[in-house]
Amino acid sequence: MARPLTGRSPLLTTYLLRPEGEPSEVLARFIECLIRISNELY
């Protein structure tokens, strides 16, 4: 049986590490998607 946690859920911070320079097209779309999602959450 699963139960929801009481109170606020703990904050999870994730870091995306990548080399310097321009990201590939796929990585750029992924980053844009993450930014949109994080903006919707906060």
CB 31 within 8 A of CB 16: yes
Could you tell me the sign of the dihedral formed by the alpha carbons of 41, 39, 12, 7, in that order? Answer: negative
pLDDT of amino acid 33: 93
Q: Which two tokens stand for residue 6?
A: 């009481």
Give Cα 3 distance to the centre of its chain: 24
Record the pTM: 0.54
pLDDT of amino acid 1: 64
Q: In tens digits, what is the pLDDT along the chain, a chain of 42 residues?
A: 666 667 776 777 888 888 899 999 999 999 999 899 888 876
Question: From CA 32, how far away is CA 27, in angstroms rounded?
Answer: 9
